Structure 1
Amino acid sequence: MAMVVTQPCIGCKEKSCLPVCPVECFHTSENEPMVYIDPDECIDCGACVAECPAEAIFYEDDVLDQWISYIELNATKSAECPTAHE
């Protein structure tokens, strides 16, 4: 199980979730509207959940039905984008 970033992240500028990640599993680029979590790097610690101002991060098993597609989106986009640094 991994953490998943979902739709409410789109357009969030705060990115306070990034510095709390102990393994730097967030990925993004200048052209991306949100950040993505690499499911292979994520250690499921949940530290990012409390820091997300958009309430957009969920444990994979808790992703709401309307955002299920974000599970695959995070896996795909995290492989395409560089690691995000705050």
Structure 2
Amino acid sequence: MKRDKLIQYRKKKNWSQKRVVQELREKHSIKITDSYYGMIEQGVRNPSLKLAVAIAKIFKVRPENIFLSTNTTKSCEKGPEQAI
């Protein structure tokens, strides 16, 4: 599943995928390849929690705004017996 929001956030800054990878390395000491980042955008690969949080910080959004497609907290609001 292609991550359109992630692509939109990147394009809004007029950044290339290479620029995002540079930001991750420089600001968060996370080293990934341009190719791997491209696979994350295309939905072929899922980032680790640490990487997902770093990507979200770069774009100044919450990780769930990029990586979750549904609201996963609703089942927890009903109580533990109903969430199962």
How does the TM-score come out when normalised to structure 2?
0.35
More strand, by proportion: 1
RCO comparison, higher one (Cα < 8 Å, 6+): 1
Structure number, greater radius of gyration: 2
How does the TM-score come out when normalised to structure 1?
0.34
